[in-house]
Amino acid sequence: MSPLSIAMIQADLHWHDAKANRTVLARSIERLEDGVDLVVLPEMFATGFTMDAPDQAETMDGATVDWLRETAQRHDAAVCGSLVIADGENYYNRFILMHANGDYQTYDKRHLFRLAGECDHYSAGDTLETLRVKDWRIRPLVCYDLRFPVWSRRSREHDYDLLLYVANWPSPRHQAWETLLRARAIENQCYVVGVNRVGTDGNDVPYAGGSAIIDFFGNELVKLDDQAGDATIALEPEPLQRFRERFPFDIDADTFAITGNTQDA
């Protein structure tokens, strides 16, 4: 495996204005140095964390997915984040990883944030996905998924190198964001990337950023503060591989089966 260069874009999103958000994010991506392999945007980066799915949803043939494709091709890098997507009669908070060649992979958020009514407006995904950028195996998850360690648990059947969270995680619970990102890295012996937003959304919910890349010891390799900005780092595979070989904790991990429906009350 070769190193993986990751850029985090932490933005102050415009409420329900996909065109304005695409413009702001495009400017941030333009400022990145050449050679980035993966650009990570926040959850619902086109709209903010909205429950107005019928009016704000796009399709997989829509303007923002086209923008992702054009951006990935222009910068010769994979670009990812989540969008409100209409698929048939359902709406999804869908993570999309767009590759430079125009191919894409998706993951539909499983754990819908009940306190904001997300489960009343969106359908939950039920499938774990392992995506690939270069030789790296990436497990994509979205915001509230962070609170549910069983869903993210690395196993021999669901192995990965990098756990990636995109989020709109509010500032009143910011300490939980920081703590849980570290916990997921330590317990899964993996790198973790968490990309949050900043600013205040259309529901007057504030966000404090804190986007970070964390290693398998739980150390922050890079972190953004509470302002809009970006950060880039190249992750090395060899330290992770050596750590797992020296400390094969997964041999003693419990086995389990995931059951249930997150739509149930």
Name the catalytic one among 58, 80, 109, 118. 109
Q: Is 109 a catalytic residue?
A: yes
End-to-end alpha-carbon separation of the chain, Å?
44
The DSSP bridge pattern shows strands 191-195 and 162-166 to be parallel
CA separation for the pair 85, 119 (Å, rounded): 15
The three-class DSSP label of residue 51 is: coil
**C-alpha to C-alpha distances, 86 to 61, 90, 121, 123, nearest whole angstrom:** 10, 6, 11, 10
Q: Is 223 a catalytic residue?
A: no
The answer to whether the CB of 226 falls within 8 A of the CB of 196 is no
Name the catalytic one among 43, 80, 118, 190. 43
Q: Is 43 a catalytic residue?
A: yes
The answer to whether the CB of 24 falls within 8 A of the CB of 10 is no
Q: Which residues pair with 104 in a beta bridge?
A: 98
Catalytic residue positions, numbered = 43, 109, 143
